[in-house]
Structure 1
Amino acid sequence: MDPHLCISCRGTKYLCGLNYCPVILKNLSFKVREMGTEVSGSSPPSIFVGRFGYPKITVYPSTPPEFGDTSSYENPRRWLEMDTTSFLAMRLNMIRGGLEFRVTEASSPGRNLFDVQVISLSPRPVEMELDLVNVPRGKILSETVPPLGPSAPLRSMKLGTLPPPERVVEKVFQDRDMKAVEAMERLRSNGVPVERISKLLSVGNLGRDRRLVPTRWSITAVDKTLSDKLVSKVKEFPHLGEIEVYVRKFNLNTFVGILVPGNWSFEWGEAWFPSTTWNMWGAYPQVEIDYEGYFGRKTYPEIGGCYYSSRLAVAEFLEARGRQAIPILWREIYPGFYFPVGVWFVRENVRELFKGKPEKFPELDDALKYVDQVLKVKSSTWIKHSKVIPMIRSRLFP
């Protein structure tokens, strides 16, 4: 398999000519416990909205087969504290019951879809009983979505007492005149986590013209929308005083953030080493970079949803500091990192990256020499793929 195809495809475009992804198929051998057709437990809450068959798609209320405080099943901050095996075992034992709806039904839902929408409002776990048509099978491993366990068509669902939502969540749910973009921003500014905002969007709980949105799309839509808002604020701030370099090593990954004083521009790059998720059969690291200038970009980044997840994390950091900069973010993925786990991994690690203490430098070349001591791919190779560094050196930014 041409490793460059895997980097470009990431299990979504089938560029290799096959009608399945051999990388994901290889990883689907991860075993989960066998379940019957009746499943009960405390849903974190968790809801997955599929994309196949659009505009008629399947919505999956989901629960682990256990009761109590299951909030960690939907909490990316907690996921960072787990080893990969424990994380996968937890997420892949989330059982999904599928119900089909047209995307437009979200604006005037029947009983089943309304129940799903109400579940998503809850800030705490909800007791749930799923009566499935058959024994659940399969699982989901994706570059965008966190891993999910087996599914089956849902015959019926029973819910326990639903905890009341926070006032701001109830407000955006009830307000049919509020635009979805405004609702997302209000939720974020009131401390509602990104993953909950994505869930509310996907089940059709936000905006004027309410529709179901596949989870894969809603995650990236929320990351992009919120980071767009933050970047517009960051552009009004004074420049950072000097170049700062942040480093984070975590779970066979190294993240580097270089903040260069100047008007906003942004770069996200990844280097996948052989025997990793998207370079399973290659002989050398595959490097890919996407970027934007001061005025943003008009096309979807080839590098995928991690672009917007990392952009949101660094925009949050700059907005909190009241400073403007040119973020250059690079990530190296080392042998043994096999599983696609979702863009949450990038978002949370970049957030953690900027909690660290930076090294400071007067010149970009000095910063790149320091980066050479941290990364295995030399900065000269990164620069060959970079568009932002040549523009900085040429002073092409407005």
Structure 2
Amino acid sequence: MRINPALCIRCRGEYNLCGLSYCPVLTELRTRHILRGVTNRDRIDGSSPPSVFIGRVGYPRVNVYPATPPVHGDTSSLEDPRAWMGMRLEDFLSSRLSLVRGSVRVRVEDARNPPRTLHDVQVMVLSGKPVDSELVLKKPVSGRYVLDEHAPPFGPSSPLQKLRVNTLPPPPRIVDRVHSDTDLNATEAILTLYYHGIDVHHISRLLSVGALGVGKRRRLVPTRWSITAVDKQVSDKLLNEVRDYPLISEYRVYVRKFKDNTFIGILAPHTWLYEWAEAWWPGSTWNMWGGETALELDYEGYWGRDDYPSIGGCYYAARIAVLEALHSIRRQAAVILWREIYPGFNLPIGVWWVRENIRAMLSGPYERFHDLHDALKYVTGFLKLPISTWVSKSYVIRMLTRQSSIVDWLG
């Protein structure tokens, strides 16, 4: 995308005159400042939050990427999605892109009896606080940044010669206990950690480095797979409990507008049904060169689903957020979650974005309605895509209005 330089001169990173949700100039300058000199060095010394990325190319042999920024101190915010939500996008991007990665190739089953480097990566991830570490690289840092649909961004990489761990804060007690229990299967380990207050972001890293599960079956899990696996396992457990709760007593509508995104949540007094839908405008991340808005939707009925949704990991990231909300109020509902993504939001930054936005939306205020018609009429004022388009695609609305013509709901 080419940006008119005159807009940059007028804007100076303040007004988003280019139409993007972030300032690419500030992002680049801040990242360069943090990484200044790194591209000519073969040693990176800093405080890892801790961070690690597990690749999936070549599975069951994969690349493991321990990562650290070239700065010391409290870097925990680099692995804290709730902190990311309070950042400007350019600050989030530049801070995450400062995470320099060293790569080492191993077999996924090496997690059971790890070589020294992998062992050090595992104990780093167990820690609940930043770890002072040093990456000794085979050659100066090069390579591209990682921008992924599922995982948060990472900085450039180079083959790893040696990983030195200089300080190692102890892990949270529950993390240490679950990791040490080699008879506990991975699902039970995930749920134990979750119910003891460990966030799913940390749990997914533990799963990815092979630190959870029955000892003889532990293995490395590519980062994008581990994120979705944890979201699914936890939300499945929450759903089993939510299905036993009484129904909410009214229609509830939540709205959140944030950085060229609109999120809509409708909770209906009905047994569990769920849908997640996204409408991508031309010029947004996954519709950069299209001429029309592209809408995709996936759903499930009362008993959930067994197959992987075609819409991807955001489905489960949104699902866990809404089930956490229902679980907290001890109520059951049919759930409609819609998202519109507008031009200017053009970077894949991970499913955490959806999870944290839905969490934020559902923890905020909502409007009450006595019938679906009024709820949809209210929602119309916040959507750019015609409500008739949304309704015509909606599985949950079709189930809620089976005794009526859907046309009745568009009047």
Q: TM-score over 0.5 for the alignment?
A: yes
User: Bigger CA drift: 222-231 or 160-169?
Assistant: 160-169
Matched, 1:129 2:134: yes
Which of 66, 74, 78 is 2:79 aligned to?
Answer: 74
Write the distance in 1 (CA, Å) between the matches of 2:45 and 2:265: 44
Write the distance in 1 (CA, Å) between the matches of 2:287 and 2:48: 35
Which of 279, 302, 310 is 1:271 aligned to?
Answer: 279
Q: CA RMSD in A?
A: 1.3
Write the distance in 1 (CA, Å) between the matches of 2:229 and 2:84: 22
User: Bigger CA drift: 108-117 or 211-220?
Assistant: 108-117
Write the distance in 2 (CA, Å) between the matches of 1:139 and 1:88: 11
User: What is the match of residue 59 of structure 2?
Assistant: 54
Shift of 1:176: 0.4
Aligned partner of 1:279: which letter?
N
Shift of 1:338: 0.8
Write the distance in 2 (CA, Å) between the matches of 1:297 and 1:79: 31
Write the distance in 1 (CA, Å) between the matches of 2:183 and 2:233: 19
Write the distance in 1 (CA, Å) between the matches of 2:345 and 2:70: 28
Write the distance in 1 (CA, Å) between the matches of 2:169 and 2:88: 31
Change in CA separation of 1:58 and 1:378 when aligned onto 2, cut-off 3 Å: same
* Greater relative CO, 1 or 2 (CA 8 Å, sep 6+): 1
Shift of 1:279: 1.1
Shift of 1:299: 1.7
Once the two structures are superposed, the pairs formed by residues 1-398 of structure 1 within 5 Å of their partners are: 31=28, 32-33=31-32, 35=38, 36-136=41-141, 137-208=143-214, 209-394=217-402
Shift of 1:395: 6.1
**What are the Cα deviations for residues 65-108 of structure 1, in whole angstroms up to 9, with x where unaligned?**
10000011111111111111111111111100011110011111
Q: Please say if residues 50 and 68 of structure 2, whose CA atoms lie closer than 8 Å, have aligned partners that are also in contact.
A: yes
Shift of 1:167: 1.1
- SS of match in other structure, 2:286: coil
Write the distance in 1 (CA, Å) between the matches of 2:278 and 2:387: 13
- SS of match in other structure, 2:358: helix
Aligned partner of 2:159: which letter?
P
Write the distance in 2 (CA, Å) between the matches of 1:105 and 1:282: 44
User: Bigger CA drift: 96-105 or 33-42?
Assistant: 33-42
Q: Please say if residues 133 and 167 of structure 2, whose CA atoms lie closer than 8 Å, have aligned partners that are also in contact.
A: no
Paired residues, what number? 368
- SS of match in other structure, 2:161: strand
Q: Please say if residues 93 and 153 of structure 2, whose CA atoms lie closer than 8 Å, have aligned partners that are also in contact.
A: yes
Shift of 1:127: 0.3
Aligned partner of 1:152: which letter?
S
- SS of match in other structure, 2:83: helix
Write the distance in 2 (CA, Å) between the matches of 1:249 and 1:173: 40
Write the distance in 2 (CA, Å) between the matches of 1:191 and 1:377: 38
Write the distance in 2 (CA, Å) between the matches of 1:341 and 1:166: 28
Write the distance in 1 (CA, Å) between the matches of 2:358 and 2:367: 16
Q: Please say if residues 241 and 327 of structure 2, whose CA atoms lie closer than 8 Å, have aligned partners that are also in contact.
A: yes
Write the distance in 2 (CA, Å) between the matches of 1:395 and 1:130: 64
**What are the Cα deviations for residues 311-343 of structure 1, in whole angstroms up to 9, with x where unaligned?**
000000000100000110001111110101100
Percent identity over the alignment is: 53
- SS of match in other structure, 1:349: helix
User: What is the match of residue 6 of structure 1?
Assistant: none
- SS of match in other structure, 1:278: helix
Shift of 1:166: 1.2
Aligned partner of 1:333: which letter?
I
Write the distance in 2 (CA, Å) between the matches of 1:155 and 1:143: 29
User: What is the match of residue 9 of structure 1?
Assistant: none
Change in CA separation of 1:395 and 1:119 when aligned onto 2, cut-off 3 Å: farther
Shift of 1:379: 1.6
Aligned partner of 1:180: which letter?
A
- SS of match in other structure, 1:227: helix
Runs of at least 4 residues of structure 1 off by over 6 A? none
* Runs of 5+ unmatched residues, structure 1: 1-26
User: What is the match of residue 4 of structure 1?
Assistant: none
Shift of 1:293: 0.4
Q: Please say if residues 335 and 396 of structure 2, whose CA atoms lie closer than 8 Å, have aligned partners that are also in contact.
A: no
- SS of match in other structure, 1:367: helix
Shift of 1:283: 2.2
TM-score by length of 1: 0.91
Shift of 1:113: 1.2
